[in-house]
């Protein structure tokens, strides 16, 4: 009862602060500049999230009607954004979010056939160099995204992912296979709609197994992640285990979210025995926000200190794909 009341008070304070400040995005730290910034996010979207994920409505994870609605919404959004008419949205989207099209190929927004085509745009070669390329003792970030890193699963659930049933076993629906990551280190990424939505392998190694897991389409905003609703283990997702000589077994889970109709893996990451390199493209998300969880065996990685320091303050770090994540122990 006490924890419920604390959660309810925290929800009330969050709502009041948002209304008072008129700034609704979560605070992040830009890794390049060290600047504290707020993400751009519509007030209506934030208030809707607060309404859905709070102590009074945590029953949502048992409400089939809500899951059906979110699924239908995802399918509808995907169809809309794939139509040729959706091209008209691209210019305003680029200007609103300040997207540097020089980083992408094609850089001309008129070259995209639809907003969906633009959404899954590719980086221009060389725009995201791989940190310590050729040195497999350095792991790299999986996406252009915001990330928190914790040295153990227990620290992750204490500070960040508050879903009451979150475990690595539930995340991959296999408690036996998950034992290798018992209290291992976790990097949790969140991608917003304006981000590059392809994701890349953090280490080099051999694909041991992969699996696709059906699920729902809850949002992965921190409001949702820090509620009792276990969104990461409920949403549709794909998982792959890569055996790395330097880092041991590395788990990579790409998780769809609200408005994401598809989580796709490339063929090499769906083939046991495939040799993969850090920086290789694992796959992509189609339209919407999404999340990635990367888990390392206990004691096999030392995350970069700047990432750890910000994460312990419960703030996400804005990072670019292929930049340093940590070193093998």
d(CA 285, CA 269): 15
Type and span of the H or E element at 92: helix 90-97
Looking at 114, 192, 204, 290, which residue is catalytic? 290
Catalytic residue among 114, 188, 197, 200: 200
Whole-angstrom Cα distance, residue 236 to residue 256? 6
For residue 265, CA distances in Å to 61, 71, 112, 181, 284 come to 27, 20, 22, 22, 7
Of 112, 271, 302, the C-alpha closest to 207 is 271
Active-site residue flag, 290: yes
State whether residue 73 is helix, strand or coil: helix
* Residue bearing tokens 């790409």: 254
With tokens 């091209």, the residue in question is 87
Whether 64 is catalytic: no
Number of CB atoms found within 10 A of residue 170's CB: 16
Using only the alpha carbons of the chain, give its radius of gyration.
19
Active site residue 280: no
The closest of 225, 240, 229, 230 to 291, measured between CA atoms, is 225
Centre a 10 Å sphere on the Cβ of residue 180 and count the other Cβ atoms it contains: 15
- The answer to whether the CB of 324 falls within 8 A of the CB of 305 is no
Structure tokens at 199: 């994701």
- Catalytic residue chosen out of the listed positions 86, 114, 123, 144: 144
Give the residue numbers marked as catalytic: 144, 200, 290
């Amino acid at each position: 009862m006490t924890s419920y009341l604390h959660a309810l008070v925290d929800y009330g304070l969050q709502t009041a602060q948002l209304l008072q400040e008129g700034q609704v995005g979560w605070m992040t730290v830009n890794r390049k500049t060290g600047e504290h910034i707020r993400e751009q996010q519509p007030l209506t979207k934030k208030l809707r999230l607060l309404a859905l994920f709070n102590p009074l409505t945590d029953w949502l994870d048992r409400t089939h009607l809500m899951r059906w609605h979110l699924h239908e919404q995802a399918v509808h959004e995907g169809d809309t954004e794939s139509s040729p008419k959706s091209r008209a949205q691209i210019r305003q989207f680029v200007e609103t979010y300040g997207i540097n099209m020089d980083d992408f190929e094609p850089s001309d927004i008129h070259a995209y056939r639809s907003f969906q085509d633009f959404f899954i745009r590719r980086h221009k070669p060389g725009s995201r160099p791989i940190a310590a390329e050729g040195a497999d003792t350095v792991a790299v970030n999986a996406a252009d995204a915001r990330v928190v890193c914790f040295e153990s699963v227990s620290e992750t659930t204490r500070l960040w992912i508050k879903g009451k049933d979150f475990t690595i076993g539930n995340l991959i629906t296999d408690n036996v296979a998950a034992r290798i990551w018992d209290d291992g280190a976790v990097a949790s990424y969140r991608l917003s709609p304006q981000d590059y939505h392809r994701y890349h392998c953090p280490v080099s190694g051999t694909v041991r197994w992969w699996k696709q897991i059906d699920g729902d389409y809850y949002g992965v905003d921190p409001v949702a992640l820090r509620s009792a609703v276990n969104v990461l283990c409920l949403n549709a997702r794909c998982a792959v285990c890569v055996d790395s000589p330097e880092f041991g077994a590395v788990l990579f889970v790409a998780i769809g979210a609200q408005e994401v109709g598809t989580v796709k893996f490339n063929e090499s990451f769906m083939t046991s025995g495939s040799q993969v390199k850090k920086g290789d493209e694992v796959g992509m998300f189609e339209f919407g926000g999404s999340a990635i969880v990367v888990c390392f065996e206990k004691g096999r990685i030392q995350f970069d200190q700047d990432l750890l320091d910000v994460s312990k303050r419960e703030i996400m770090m804005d990072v670019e794909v292929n930049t340093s994540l940590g070193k093998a122990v």
